Amino acid sequence: MTLDLAAFAKDKGIKYFMISYTDLFGGQRAKLVPAEAIADMQKDGAGFAGFATWLDLTPAHPDLFAVPDASTVIQLPWKKDVAWVAADCVMDDQPVEQAPRVVLKRLVAEAAKEGLRVKTGVEPEFFLISADGSVISDQFDTAEKPCYDQQAVMRRYDVIAEICDYMLELGWKPYQNDHEDANGQFEMNWEYDDALQTADKHSFFKFMVKSVAEKHGLRATFMPKPFKGLTGNGCHAHISVWDIDGKVNAFADKEMPFGLSAQGKTFLGGIMKHASALAAITNPTVNSYKRINAPRTTSGATWSPNTVTWTGNNRTHMVRVPGPGRFELRLPDGAVNPYLLQAIIIAAGLDGIRSQADPGRHYDIDMYAEGHLVKDAPRLPLNLLDALRAYDADEGLRAAIGAEFSAAYLKLKHQEWNAYCSHFTQWERDSTLDI
């Protein structure tokens, strides 16, 4: 039965709902709707001018309605008057095919048609920085190897524990928090869930982390490579596929190498086959390519891949199989759109299952030290344009995630690349002025 949001408001003392949708660039867009008006909005949705956000629409398009999915509603733990609810985009009574949450729901349904249920966990790393965004917020956080720094994580206890307390309250089952490999960087982990639920939680997590950081006079950034020479913000995804009841892990097979079943291997085969193209989604910004393909950082390793390879429990490859029944895709970064991340994983994986894709040989080497020895695996795209071209050239992947979505995404992302190219940089002047 659908939850009645008006009744929920009465019960919880909620004054406003944020009806929120995510655009193609991952931006979260919301209207604040008083509880008195939520009953109609729950039925009809809140109206938006879609062109004013990152969707491929014109100012002449009719209203875009964001229709709340009441099952996602969350009373903001840090502002109990307000509740957030994820919404699906509708126009002229039809789902907007390019809208990321619509795209993901369609792929979840396609997996279900094959009797499969994709469950994932994400690790969205972030930095706590000064409010103006220029430096990390803790001037004493300067260690060369700052990962798991006990003293530094405790200097940010107020922020980290507040966020973790909220996750406990929401029943997300968080299980660890740490200082990550860059100065000023943190990671918080909670339990994996069905792909759509993970995407909703991932979106809300970003909103929550930014809000709590602001409350403490700081700023949180998920930017892929905010500081030159420091490890960037990854957003690894752990992936397993289950039967439709979610009881039997179809990826687990103790008899197989790394405990990954034959079906799991073909799903992985799909990810490997489409890796260069799907980077356009998992690494969606100009800045993303300063995280992958990066030179060694001050901590000694980038922890991000540059080549399409997979392996067992070894963090120097694009895909790691850490234990039986799941694998970790280490390619995505903090700029990834939470819905498109899940959608592209399912699209590539299902294509892999359907085409019985072979993930190829696994390399059990230290890629940072010996990567140059690998001759038969593609290098990941070197920049956003490379990735967009790979995506454009990958007809199978474009169709698997949706033709209408793909066309809209490519159009807007090419515009972004062109905007970047028309930007004049200091580097250009320094290297060209006296030529």
Binding residues for Mg ion, rule: CB under 5 A, are 123, 187, 236
Choice between 172 and 289, CB closer to ligand ADP? 172
What is the rounded CA–CA span in Å between residue 349 and residue 396? Answer: 12
Say if residues 186 and 175 touch (Cβ distance below 8 Å). Answer: no
Q: Which does 33 bind (CB under 5 to 8 A by kind): ligand ADP, Mg ion, none?
A: none
CA 110 to centroid of chain Cα atoms: 21
Burial of 286 (0-12, 13-18, 19+ CB in 10 A): middle
353 in helix, strand or coil? Answer: helix
Task: Report the residue number whose CB is nearest to ligand ADP.
Answer: 121
Q: What is the DSSP letter of 144?
A: S
Rounded to a whole number of angstroms, the minimum distance from the CB of residue 297 to Mg ion is 13
Choice between 34 and 115, CB closer to Mg ion? 34
Rounded to a whole number of angstroms, the minimum distance from the CB of residue 125 to ligand ADP is 9
Rounded to a whole number of angstroms, the minimum distance from the CB of residue 77 to ligand ADP is 20
Rounded to a whole number of angstroms, the minimum distance from the CB of residue 323 to Mg ion is 12
Choice between 15 and 315, CB closer to ligand ADP? 315
Choice between 219 and 265, CB closer to ligand ADP? 265
Task: Name the pairing type of β-strands 235-243 and 193-194.
Answer: unpaired
Choice between 119 and 273, CB closer to ligand ADP? 119
Rounded to a whole number of angstroms, the minimum distance from the CB of residue 178 to ligand ADP is 8
Choice between 120 and 342, CB closer to ligand ADP? 120
What is the rounded CA–CA span in Å between residue 343 and residue 354? Answer: 16
Q: Which does 413 bind (CB under 5 to 8 A by kind): ligand ADP, Mg ion, none?
A: none
Q: Which residues contact 162 (CB under 8 A, 6 or more apart)?
A: 78, 212
Placement of tokens 């970790």 in the chain: 328
What is the rounded CA–CA span in Å between residue 261 and residue 289? Answer: 32
Q: What is the DSSP letter of 88?
A: E
Say if residues 368 and 296 touch (Cβ distance below 8 Å). Answer: yes
Choice between 189 and 309, CB closer to ligand ADP? 189
Q: Which does 192 bind (CB under 5 to 8 A by kind): ligand ADP, Mg ion, none?
A: ligand ADP
Q: What share of the chain is helix, strand, coil (3-state, %, to 5)?
A: 40, 20, 40
User: Between the CA of residue 122 and those of 30, 234, 404, 427, what are the distances in Å?
Assistant: 24, 10, 27, 35
Q: Which does 191 bind (CB under 5 to 8 A by kind): ligand ADP, Mg ion, none?
A: ligand ADP
Choice between 138 and 187, CB closer to Mg ion? 187
Choice between 225 and 238, CB closer to ligand ADP? 238
User: C-alpha angle 321/303/218, rounded to 5°?
Assistant: 120
Task: Report the residue number whose CB is nearest to Mg ion.
Answer: 236
Q: Which does 238 bind (CB under 5 to 8 A by kind): ligand ADP, Mg ion, none?
A: ligand ADP
Q: Which does 128 bind (CB under 5 to 8 A by kind): Mg ion, ligand ADP, none?
A: none
Choice between 324 and 396, CB closer to ligand ADP? 324
DSSP E strands in 234-383: the ranges are 235-243, 310-311, 319-323, 326-329
Tokens, residue 229: 């020479």
Rounded to a whole number of angstroms, the minimum distance from the CB of residue 190 to ligand ADP is 6
Q: Which does 203 bind (CB under 5 to 8 A by kind): Mg ion, ligand ADP, none?
A: none
Rounded to a whole number of angstroms, the minimum distance from the CB of residue 320 to Mg ion is 8
Rounded to a whole number of angstroms, the minimum distance from the CB of residue 147 to ligand ADP is 11
Rounded to a whole number of angstroms, the minimum distance from the CB of residue 236 to Mg ion is 4
What is the rounded CA–CA span in Å between residue 171 and residue 190? Answer: 10
Tokens, residue 349: 């994986």
Residue type, 134: S
Q: 323 pairs with which residues across the strands?
A: 326
Choice between 129 and 345, CB closer to ligand ADP? 345
Say if residues 19 and 68 touch (Cβ distance below 8 Å). Answer: yes
Q: 240 pairs with which residues across the strands?
A: 119
Rounded to a whole number of angstroms, the minimum distance from the CB of residue 304 to ligand ADP is 13
- The residues binding ligand ADP (CB under 6 A) are 119-121, 123, 189, 191-192, 236, 238-240, 325-326, 328
Rounded to a whole number of angstroms, the minimum distance from the CB of residue 330 to ligand ADP is 8
What is the rounded CA–CA span in Å between residue 44 and residue 220? Answer: 34
